[in-house]
Amino acid sequence: MNIRFQRSFEVKGKSQQQQQQQQQQQQQRLHQSAPPLSRTHKATHLEMFSKLKSKVTGSNSSSNTPSTSETSSLKAISSPDSSTSTVYGQNDNNNNSSSSSSNGKSKSKDSITLGPSRYTPFDSPSPGSHIPQERKLTEEEKSKYLQVLKHFQNPDLLIADSEEHHKHKTASTTSSTSPLTIEEKSWLTRECFLRYLRATKWHVDEAIDRIELTLAWRREFGVDHILDKDNIVNGELTSPENETGKEVILGYDNDSRPCLYLKPGRQNTKTSQRQVQHLVYMLEKVIDYMPSGQDSLALLIDFKPHPVGTQGGKIPPVGIGRQVLHILQTHYPERLGKALLTNIPWLGWTFLKIIHPFIDPLTREKLVFDQPFINYVPKSQLDKDFQGDVNFIYEHDKYWPKMIEIAESKKQKYFERFEKFGACVGLSEVDLRGVDEELTHPVDNI
């Protein structure tokens, strides 16, 4: 009996060992059926990736050797075991879930404990953020600034009601022009004049022409009034565009710039003029969120696909891309402080390559590719999807009205202080967004 039992046990042991060997052989065959790229193929792909990216970023490097981030990006694309979100330093959905042991009690040490859910924007920067000190102007720059200020202080100044009319405006044409409104005067601030002067490299006549062109465009486009309801482009018009949260104002970066997230993967509508109106509307709102002393914004663009998107990751037509660039560069000069782009697909690189010639050099210098957002935004105000502590959940009915309410409150305070300090051209945004009872930047004291 003992001998039979021993032989039976030996046979069973051999059978189990054979099964394990067969499983290992099957795994090896599966692994061999999808071999990694050869060295030659890897080199070719890396070279293509490097050349494409250098064209987009304007790099003049003669070397074809890719950077570490480029190598990592290619590995993320080519390796079945790697995650793109890990390469860019973002949190993948799996990283937010705690893994349990076999008994279901112990959690993974890599799990993240999130705070309470947040559905609305922040209304002020983190205590750890700061505002960079403004550069002092030279005597020549002060002189040019005062020339621009004097031009717009003229009570007889007439502004066209459209871009086209501005381009063909003559002294005898008055039917398509009108004086500055009090709301337009509140837009013509000290910082506004300086932004246009910097954008035109301190050419006075060009800066004046550009400002008048933007005033005409604002009238035509419908963003020239203080109150949201008085504008053609308002929250009610653009609300359907943001039902999936494809554009979100959330938090401030380390330099106290309000952050505007663009998430093309959440695209929910087909290409139309309303999409352009929606972007302009969000730009106007994020400007309202700027604190005293900061007049630029941070743009955070995440190309990662999302289940709520209905447009299959389509890139916008070149015509729309050019129109948006024209609006941003012509009518919002020097407003972009930093633009962070992450999870860029091959299609996205192609689109960036196409529109690259239309991006002015000053804007190109502010573009940052494939860097973790946490390097630029405090964790306390950064979305959890990008290694932040904010458990942000987009629910349109909660977010949209609150976002508008905060912006309207800030804009109303801005305009009340504008009237308090004389309702004149050339007041400083530092004073208009501030809390001091007295002016810190008198109009003629530059």
CATH 3.40.525.10 residue spans of the chain:
233-394
Burial profile 407-419: b = 16 or more Cβ within 10 angstroms, e = fewer: bbebbeebbebbe
Per-residue pLDDT, 316: 65
**Tens digits of pLDDT across the chain (446 residues):** 444 444 444 444 444 555 556 555 544 443 443 344 444 444 444 444 454 455 444 444 433 443 434 333 333 333 333 333 333 333 333 333 333 333 333 333 344 567 799 999 999 999 999 999 999 999 999 999 999 999 999 999 999 999 999 988 754 456 799 999 999 999 999 999 999 999 999 999 999 999 999 999 999 999 999 999 999 999 999 999 999 999 999 999 999 999 999 998 899 999 899 999 999 999 999 999 999 999 999 999 998 888 776 666 566 667 777 888 899 999 999 999 999 999 988 877 876 777 677 677 878 888 999 899 999 999 999 999 999 999 999 999 999 999 999 999 999 999 999 999 999 999 999 999 999 999 999 998 88
CATH of domain 233-394: 3.40.525.10
| Cα–Cα nearest to 298, from 418, 386, 404, 397 | 386
Per-residue pLDDT, 112: 58
d(CA 42, CA 340): 27
Other CB atoms within 10 Å distance of the CB of residue 391: 16
In total, the chain counts a number of residues equal to: 446
Contact 286, 295 (CB under 8 A): no
End-to-end CA distance of the chain: 107
| Cα–Cα nearest to 245, from 259, 258, 264 | 264
Per-residue pLDDT, 263: 92
How many CA atoms does the CB half-sphere of 245 hold within 13 Å? 18
Hey, which residues does 301 pair with through a beta bridge?
262, 341
- Tell me how far apart the 2 most distant CA atoms of the chain are, in Å: 120
Question: What is the torsional sign of CA 11, 13, 15, 17?
Answer: negative
The model carries a pTM of 0.74
The contacts of residue 309 (CB under 8 Å, 6+ apart) are 244, 246, 264, 265, 266, 267, 268
